[in-house]
Chains A and B, each alone.
Chain A
Amino acid sequence: MEQSSDFGVWIVVPAYNEEQVVHSVVSSLLQRYENVVVVDDNSQDHTYDVLTDLKLHLLRHPTNLGQGAALQTGISYALQRGASVIVTFDSDGQHAVGDIEVLCRALAGGADVALGSRFLGATVRMPLLRKIVLKIAILYQRLTSGLKLTDAHCGLRAMSAKAAKSILIRENRMAHASELIEQFAKLNLRIEEVPVTITYSEYSLVKGQSSLNAINIILQLLMNRFRK
């Protein structure tokens, strides 16, 4: 079927102010995959311009909305173009291109959603504070979604078109990772965790979110719960 070939696989890369690394990240994706969508979330630097020489699908939000919104825009675009598998991949160089194949294999094996897990896999140079915050996030996830996951906020994940069509990311900012998992859980989709490697470079640590932001995320999720 199409799922096992790379043709129906679409890689969605949300990017915000990543002019330094985004070109090399996307280039390495394009070496293996034909369909790469980058959603530039209205970067203030040259993220959009440095990518225009590559053969990719390039979208730009007219205003900054957040990573969750960028992901949803990329997913909607890929679905419009007939994607059968959608992979989300961070633009800061933390993820390994080789892991995508492992995620896709999990989908081919019958899962609707394959989530990357750095705790099943490996991490390179993960700071202790980050580790503690992530562990707390995982605990929160367990309590709210009832899913026993080993990693809660890994940006590397794959989903079938069916799963992608049935979700809608409404958390524009960083709370979207938990929101996604909650939606997957509610829809009773088959979720599988796959070991992946996350590399913490000096660049990604400076660029990535601060661990303190976890407090923010929990507040946002609670607010939303209250609103529903």
Chain B
Amino acid sequence: MTIKLILIALFAIVGLVALSQMRTARILSSALMILCALAMLSVLFDEFAIRVANAVGVGRGADLIFYLFIPAALLTQLLLYLNCKSLERSITELSRHVALANARTPSDN
């Protein structure tokens, strides 16, 4: 039973962190909070996860969660990649601007 307490505490922390970021990333925070709520529910009532798992043709609730975790992790990576790309573009524009503004011309010599 200790594991139930630990898991609930951890999910509660993640949920609170998500709540604190509500202003900057509303969709992501909401999604994360819903996920945490579902996670806590399935920890408290393990039959819940088992029933859902059986309904979609998976034997154990824990397996279902593991399978769902894979596409979720991939999606996160993709979003992070796109985010990095757009950040890279901003840095490029910024650097270009700085380089153009500080150009040394032949008359500077």
B71: interface (CB < 8 Å): no
Question: Do most interface residues of chain B lie in helix, strand or loop, or is the interface mixed?
Answer: helix
Q: Which one of B91, B98, B103, B109 contacts A52 once the chains associate, using CB atoms below 8 Å?
A: B109
Report yes or no: A55 in contact with B99, Cβ–Cβ below 8 A: no
Report yes or no: A59 in contact with B104, Cβ–Cβ below 8 A: yes
Q: How many residues of B contact A (CB 8 A)?
A: 17
Report yes or no: B96 in contact with A73, Cβ–Cβ below 8 A: yes
When distances are taken between beta carbons in the complex, the residues of chain A under 8 Å from B102 are 59-60
Report yes or no: A63 in contact with B95, Cβ–Cβ below 8 A: yes
- Per-position binary interface string of chain B over residues 88-106, scored 1 when its CB falls under 8 Å from any chain A CB and 0 otherwise: 1101100110111011111
Q: Nearest-CB distance from A189 to chain B (Å)?
A: 23
Complex: A62 Cα to B98 Cα, angstroms? 7
Report yes or no: A60 in contact with B99, Cβ–Cβ below 8 A: yes
Report yes or no: B109 in contact with A62, Cβ–Cβ below 8 A: no
Report yes or no: B99 in contact with A172, Cβ–Cβ below 8 A: no
Complex: A53 Cα to B82 Cα, angstroms? 42
Identify the B interface with A (CB < 8 A): 82, 85, 88-89, 91-92, 95-96, 98-100, 102-106, 109
Identify the A interface with B (CB < 8 A): 39, 52-63, 65, 69, 72-73, 76-77, 80, 170, 172, 227
6 contacts between A and B (CB under 8 A): A54-B109, A59-B100, A62-B99, A73-B96, A76-B96, A172-B92
